Amino acid sequence: MRVLVASDKFKGTLTSAEVAEAVGAGVRRVCPDATVVGVPVADGGDGTLAAAVASGYTLVPMVASGPTGEPVQSGYARSGNTAVVELADVSGLVRLPGGVPAPLTATTYGTGELIAAAVDAGCTRIVLGIGGSASTDGGRGLIRALSGTNSPLRDKLVPESEVDALRRRLHGVEVVVACDVDNPLTGPRGAAAVYGPQKGADPRQVAELDAELAGWADAVARATGRDLRDTPGAGAAGGVGFAALALLDAELRPGIDLVLEMVRFSEQLEGAELVITGEGALDEQTLHGKAVAGVAASAHASGVPVVAVCGVNRLALDRLHGIGVSAVCALTDVEPDVERCIAEPRPLLEVLGERIAAAHLTMTRRERGIA
């Protein structure tokens, strides 16, 4: 029997590959003849680069500018003419020195450096995952790096020469952005108001950032002749969605859809009798474009049953049924102490793997409706 473990990371504890290893170990204890295949997935945020490499892309390592300008070791993943760039890995919250927020100064310049390197190396399709951003710079840093401006400093100017440089560099290049939000760039639902506080901005700084984004949008509109600040998704990743739409002619797509294509999930489903997916917490966000929902929808459409694993489950089972998940197993089902679940998730996930195998794989094929 073939079992796929296609889980997102358990944030702060295990990578998606480590989740698959632990669950797979438990499954094989009960069903030694099972073929367990780990398929790391992500929703476009942190873990996207690792999912690409696990699916066969080659990591091209690079040193680039972190969110506060310090050099960080990052890179992009390449397969043929396609490059995968993960904003979180170079310009994300996880790259803030000491974890100290820099709401007014954090930049996406390093993300632009990675894209520029991939394009200069001959890549003609860029898949950009933008979750986990530390910045609210409207994508200004990214644009400066791509246009060859040798400084990550923020300003509202968009010289005609900069737009021309962008067009020359990206001629014939397709940019696809993994985006799971529909916020505009500015206003009460904009990048600063909604996401600024998550990046350390106080109310005064939120107002300052929103004004900066409005000025940036004005400048881009003057330079390009179109104003896209109110386009759904323009506020994603502190305004990177806006810069990608307005200046890179990018297409915005749900992150999990892009990742499932990248890892060839539909092919992996062939012959599978069970899919195990998961993430650290199943909650309201799970139902709206997260990895679990995407994996479950794809598997369910192919007639493959889906079980979810998680650290904690905050959703009623009927709501999970609605996205194609037939059952759920949480670490807290095994160990009520949440702190222990966080500190020692691997052996608990192995227990969940055993339980899933016993409940879903030891029945006869006829009982499971397969034959």
Q: Are residues 203 and 337 in the same domain?
A: no
Q: Are residues 69 and 144 in the same domain?
A: yes
Q: pLDDT grade, residue 261 (50/70/90)? A: very high
Q: Which CATH number belongs to the domain containing residue 16 in this structure?
A: 3.40.50.10350
Q: Which of 30-39, 84-93, 153-162 has the weakest average pLDDT?
A: 153-162
Full strand arrangement of the beta sheet holding 306-313: 35-38, 2-7, 272-282, 306-313, 327-330
**pLDDT tens digits, one per residue of 304-320:** 999 999 999 999 999 99
pLDDT for the residue numbered 157: 59
Q: Are residues 28 and 63 in the same domain?
A: no
pTM: 0.90
At 227 the three-state DSSP class reads coil
Q: Is the dihedral of CA 121, 124, 127, 128 positive or negative?
A: positive
Contact (Cβ atoms closer than 8 angstroms) between residue 159 and residue 115: no
Kindly state whether residue 75 falls inside one of the protein's structural domains: yes
Kindly state whether residue 370 falls inside one of the protein's structural domains: no
Q: Are residues 6 and 95 in the same domain?
A: no
Indicate the residue among 224, 256, 288 that finishes a domain.
256
Q: Are residues 99 and 132 in the same domain?
A: yes
Total domains in the chain come to: 2
Domain of residue 295 covers 2-41+264-360
Q: Are residues 126 and 7 in the same domain?
A: no
Q: Which CATH number belongs to the domain containing residue 236 in this structure?
A: 3.90.1510.10
DSSP string for residues in 269-301:
TTTEEEEEEEEEEESGGGGTT-HHHHHHHHHHH
**pLDDT tens digits, one per residue of 273-296:** 999 999 999 999 899 878 999 999
